[in-house]
Structure 1
Amino acid sequence: MARGEWGYHGRGKWNCSYKKITLIVCSINIVVALYVLRSLYISLYIFSNNNDLLSVVNYTPDQIRKMEESLRIRRENQPVNLIELVKGLKKELSSEKSVVELPPALKQKISSEILQRLKSLSANATVSDRQEAVESWRKEKLEEAKQLTLRIEGMNSTILQEEAAMLVRALESDWAVLSEEIGLWIPAEVIQLEHDDKPEGVDDSEDEVLPGRPLPPECNAELHSDYGGAAVRWGLTHHKESAEECCRACLDQAKRAKPGENKCNIWVYCPSETGCHSPDIYEHKHTECWLKYDEKPKISFKGRYPESYRNSHPSAPVIVPWVSGVVSS
């Protein structure tokens, strides 16, 4: 009995000691964890306070005065004129990008109507008379287009309903661009030069030779000349290897023209390998061949471009690069 009791009391003491040790270890771990968390919190708090302190800078009155003086000088030296000029250029560029693009058929119709209006003038009409005639046509067509946009019925119009809105803008704000696109340009003065007049720097003893076959007499070829007229064949898509072939194409078109169609009586050819200048917006390339018609053919340019024209068209060369002629009927 004594041995059994002793064994029982020994086991009880051992069990009691194990529980105490476990509690002590757990308590220590909890204390250590709390200490670590407190240290981290204090470190973060101190770091944030240090950043706030660093961000606050105290300037002296003298430093503030110098900064205000620097800002005042910077404002006074701003390139105000340059800024306004840049704003103006941006506005012009944005307005150019928003130009209305009319269908080619409508442009050709407008060109024909203006040409007919100019033909109705007398032979001795002045430049101002031609300008007034074109402006009168523009106002009439603009009013017609505006009425069409209001869907007024029973009108005898030469334009379609869906084209009216575009035409209103083209004739109002985009008239200058449209004039260049259709090749409308009325010179300040018409310069008639004799056939023996030659540009400066050209020797009178030298005869300029065009590549290709010799032109027949009925072509009436004129070097460095450009005739106006209504296009019966669009030159941008009509190329010939030589001036003789271009003239021949004009003669052939006149023979094959149907009743009521314009017969070609003017041919204009670009012999220059670098292309030929024109007052419209298109890029005219080598071997372009334009077939035109005009009841009373009039020359637009011959020899040299006028100084006034070159001032308004800086890209124009000194000498007219085209060769053209009025065919004999």
Structure 2
Amino acid sequence: MVTSWLMEFSYAVENWRKEKLQEVKLLARKTEGLTSSNLKEEAGILVRALESDWAVLSENIGLWVPAEVIHQEHDDKPEGEEEPEEALPGRPLPPECHAELHADYDGAAVRWGLTHHKESAADCCQACLDQAKYAKPGEKKCNIWVYCPSETGCYSPDIYQHKNQECWLKYAEKPKLNFKDWYSESYRDSHPNAPLIVPWVSGVVSA
């Protein structure tokens, strides 16, 4: 019974480690072109901690699990091969959706996302296209869709708790990004609850 519980616990911790490692690796790649950045240094430290130093770190913070119940993953990827592109759940997005991962666009809400959920980003994009197609005269036509693909919800600097599958339909004469790829160090200093990586996926379409 104890061993079974330890195995489940170790799997949960390992899944968390993999998720965070993927986020930090993305951040590290995005900061490669910067000549001087505390964010770049932080990303490098986190990658090392979550990879080579993970066993020591987990023991130091009280997450040690006996070696015989730790699930070991073997990396058989050939050396030099690039990481696969990040995939979104659900059906593939058509080209006209112009999907941008880790992007959050501003705009006037045509459809309030808190009460408008879709199964996938592709469905959210389609909802935007349909709204624009069937909008009544004088109504704003959707030309921006913003979707939350994260099972744990998506961060936004407002008073709401944004849930998985929220689909925001927006309009802007000149679409403008709120956030792209990651939240800056200065932003995270003033917004302690902000994660490193922007969790939203968005797209600008032709209305």
TM-score > 0.5 by shorter chain: yes
Question: Percent of aligned positions with the same letter in both sequences?
Answer: 75
Q: Does the aligned pair in 2 maintain the 1:220–1:328 contact within 8 Å?
A: no
Higher relative contact order (CA 8 A, sep 6+): 2
Q: Where does structure 1 lack aligned partners over 5 or more consecutive residues?
A: 1-197
2:205 is aligned to 327
Cα distance in 2 for partners of 1:257, 1:325 equals: 19
Q: Where does structure 2 lack aligned partners over 5 or more consecutive residues?
A: 1-25, 31-80
Q: 1:211 aligns with which of 89, 96, 115?
A: 89
1:200 is aligned to 28
Structure with greater helix percent: 1
Cα distance in 2 for partners of 1:262, 1:328 equals: 13
Q: 1:267 aligns with which of 134, 145, 148?
A: 145
Structure 2 counterparts to residues 102-141 of structure 1, below 5 A: none
2:69 is aligned to none
SS in 1 for 2:179: strand
Q: 2:112 aligns with which of 234, 246, 250?
A: 234
How big is the alpha-carbon RMSD for the aligned residues of Structure 1 and Structure 2? 1.5
1:292 is aligned to 170
Deviations 1:240-297 (A, max 9, x none): 0000000000000001111111000000000000000001110000000000000000
- Is 1:301 matched up with 2:159? no
Q: Which amino acid aligns with 1:263?
A: K
Deviations 1:51-71 (A, max 9, x none): xxxxxxxxxxxxxxxxxxxxx
TM-score, L = length of structure 2: 0.61
Structure 1 runs of 4+ with >6 Å offset: none
Q: Which amino acid aligns with 2:27?
A: P
Deviations 1:112-162 (A, max 9, x none): xxxxxxxxxxxxxxxxxxxxxxxxxxxxxxxxxxxxxxxxxxxxxxxxxxx
Cα distance in 1 for partners of 2:159, 2:197 equals: 19
SS in 2 for 1:250: helix
Q: Which amino acid aligns with 1:243?
A: A
Q: Which amino acid aligns with 1:276?
A: C
Deviations 1:188-228 (A, max 9, x none): xxxxxxxxxx5226995320010111101110000000000
Cα distance in 2 for partners of 1:206, 1:199 equals: 15
Cα distance in 2 for partners of 1:328, 1:258 equals: 17
From the CA coordinates, give the structure whose radius of gyration is larger: 1
Structure 2 counterparts to residues 37-48 of structure 1, below 5 A: none
Cα distance in 2 for partners of 1:226, 1:270 equals: 10
Structure 2 counterparts to residues 1-329 of structure 1, below 5 A: 198-200=26-28, 204-329=82-207
Q: Which amino acid aligns with 2:107?
A: G
Cα distance in 1 for partners of 2:98, 2:134 equals: 21
Q: Decide whether aligned partners of structure 1 residues 305 and 204 sit closer, same or farther in structure 2, where only a CA change above 3 A counts.
A: farther
Cα distance in 2 for partners of 1:204, 1:213 equals: 24
Q: Decide whether aligned partners of structure 1 residues 209 and 239 sit closer, same or farther in structure 2, where only a CA change above 3 A counts.
A: same
Q: How many residues align?
A: 132
SS in 2 for 1:199: helix
Cα distance in 1 for partners of 2:92, 2:178 equals: 25
TM-score, L = length of structure 1: 0.39
Q: Which amino acid aligns with 2:160?
A: Y
